[in-house]
């Protein structure tokens, strides 16, 4: 189960990793955002042309996929930290807003946007 302490522990570990290497000088929000996008591109390349195949991630590419997703997660945690975003609070706020925008009774099984009737 997710707890804010779990995310805080991960944030602190990522910060310590960067601190030990004196990487703050490189970790501006802009640089981190571009790094997130780059890692997402690497993840996308793994599944490019897969379509809706099953499994979605080919077995021979599973480790690379896991690594790229971990890179995205790590950089996103760092981006939030360096730009002053409390991810736990932002997550809770956005999920609450999404629940209001997309109530189960009106959207279950539907992929339409909330503005579409």
pLDDT, position 1: 56
Q: What's 23's DSSP letter?
A: -
Q: How far apart, in whole angstroms, are the C-alpha atoms of residue 4 and residue 54?
A: 34
Q: How far apart, in whole angstroms, are the C-alpha atoms of residue 6 and residue 104?
A: 28
Alpha helices in 1-116 (DSSP H): 4-20, 29-47, 62-82, 87-101, 104-107
pLDDT, position 116: 79
pLDDT in tens, the chain (117 residues): 557 679 999 999 999 999 999 999 999 999 999 999 999 999 999 988 888 878 889 899 999 999 999 999 999 999 999 999 999 999 999 999 999 999 999 888 888 888 876
Q: Which fold has domain 29-107?
A: Helix Hairpins (1.10.287)
Q: Are 75 and 40 in contact (CB under 8 A)?
A: no
pTM of the predicted protein model: 0.85
């Amino acid at each position: 189960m997710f707890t804010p302490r779990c995310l805080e522990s991960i944030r602190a570990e990522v910060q310590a990793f960067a601190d030990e290497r004196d990487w703050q000088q490189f970790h501006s929000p802009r640089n981190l955002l571009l790094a997130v996008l780059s890692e997402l591109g690497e993840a996308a390349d793994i599944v490019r042309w897969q379509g809706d195949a099953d499994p979605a991630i080919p077995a021979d590419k599973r480790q690379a996929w896991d690594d790229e997703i971990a890179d995205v997660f790590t950089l996103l945690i760092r981006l939030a930290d360096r730009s002053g975003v409390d991810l736990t609070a932002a997550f809770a706020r956005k999920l609450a807003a999404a629940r209001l925008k997309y109530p189960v009774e009106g959207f279950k099984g539907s992929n339409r946007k909330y503005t579409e009737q």
